[in-house]
Amino acid sequence: MLNEILATSRQRAAALEPTMADLMAAARSVPSARGFAAALTEPGLSVVAEIKRKSPSAGSLAPQLDSNEQARRYFDGGAAALSILTEPDFFAGSLDDLVEARKSVELPALRKDFTVAPVQVWEARACGADAVLLIVSALDDDSLRSLIDTAREAGLDALVEVHDELEIERAFAAEATLIGVNNRDLGTFASDPAVSERLAPMLASVPVTVAESGITDVSVAARMANAGFDAILVGEALVVHPDPASLVTKMRGVR
């Protein structure tokens, strides 16, 4: 599944290449980024609240989700930042969701997608993103370093996602300063919060750390806080919850 997703992302990136100059110009004309990483350093456990409608692992989650309304609910609950799924084919996302959600609240927003080329980084900034996701398992070392550098040039933070010890070493070699541990195995799509707990000691020197996926309730949020993470990224639990604002509030209050 990951290979299929990456293949479609590469196709979209190739189609964007002729517009690189225009996207760079547009990116440099928008207001400065809001500071995604900085927003996750406030006292307590920060919550990055995600907007997504479906996933390959869970299927349809919230097909009628309104990105404006959901972003406002997250803001009301005290979320530190937003994560917006923009991948269209497997997650039913779009860049319109990013644009609309970011307009509705004054929170920094992560473009959560399968970024494989610099043109997608510039596209993200042109659409108002404050950070991009870079998945170590989807990139070779040169590409990872290049995309981190491109994000820095574009004024974006790069959330570098890892799944195991080797990927952490690769993230260190690329000089990542914002690292997320994905508890979901991208091969099987099974989630296990113990992954973050196992890897947390290796991340003690990282300025900002995020635990991602499988954070289903307050008890799991507390486990991530106790492991030392600065923030959690929560998607499915929030988009299906009848009162996502209250769940955000409860999760950020665990530390």
100, 167, 197, 212: the catalytic one is 212
Catalytic-residue membership of 250: no
Catalytic-residue membership of 100: no
161, 167, 197, 236: the catalytic one is 161
9, 46, 52, 123: the catalytic one is 52
54, 112, 123, 196: the catalytic one is 112
Catalytic-residue membership of 50: yes
46, 50, 55, 183: the catalytic one is 50
Catalytic-residue membership of 60: no
55, 182, 191, 196: the catalytic one is 182
Distance of CA 38 to the CA centre of its chain: 14
55, 197, 213, 236: the catalytic one is 213
Catalytic-residue membership of 161: yes
SS3 for the chain, per residue?
CHHHHHHHHHHHHHHHHHHHHHHHHHHHHCCCCCCHHHHCCCCCCEEEEEECCEECCCEECCCCCCHHHHHHHHHHHCCCEEEEECCHHHHCCCHHHHHHHHHHCCCCEEEECCCCCHHHHHHHHHCCCCEEEEEHHHCCHHHHHHHHHHHHHHCCEEEEEECCHHHHHHHHHCCCCEEEEECECCCCCCECCHHHHHHHHHHCCCCEEEEECCCCCHHHHHHHHHHCCCEEEECHHHHCCCCHHHHHHHHHCCC
Q: Which residues are catalytic?
A: 50, 52, 112, 161, 182, 212-213
